[in-house]
Amino acid sequence: GAGVSQTPSNKVTEKGKYVELRCDPISGHTALYWYRQSLGQGPEFLIYFQGTGAADDSGLPNDRFFAVRPEGSVSTLKIQRTERGDSAVYLCASSSSRGDTQYFGPGTRLTVL
């Protein structure tokens, strides 16, 4: 079946603008995760959803970052007042339940000018 998909694949924005990044998990996967990967580093955890609720948002760096998953499937990561330091690849992953292997999407490369 189809894997995790993310849109857009690339996003260029100006400092101070608002952006939305979308993740469509593997069909039937109840758990969804967002990670951020800066250049030359491993991914860092941002937030985890189990169903519609955010079960763990301890990785969100500040209140400019917010994520939703209103129907328990597609998730949107929202970043307000973007800063140049937000430039990174944002990875989404899903798993069939808590504790199972996480399968990743291709990522969204965000560039803040």
Name the residues that contact another protein, by CB under 8 A.
31, 33, 35, 40-45, 48, 50, 55-56, 58-59, 89, 91, 93, 95, 98-99, 101-107, 109
Q: How far is the CB of 59 from another protein (least distance, A)?
A: 7
CB of 29 to another protein, least distance (A): 13
Closest CB 81 distance from another protein, rounded Å: 25
Nearer to another protein, 64 or 109 (CB): 109
Structure tokens at 75: 């998730």
Q: What helix, strand, coil percent values describe the chain, rounded to 5?
A: 5, 50, 50
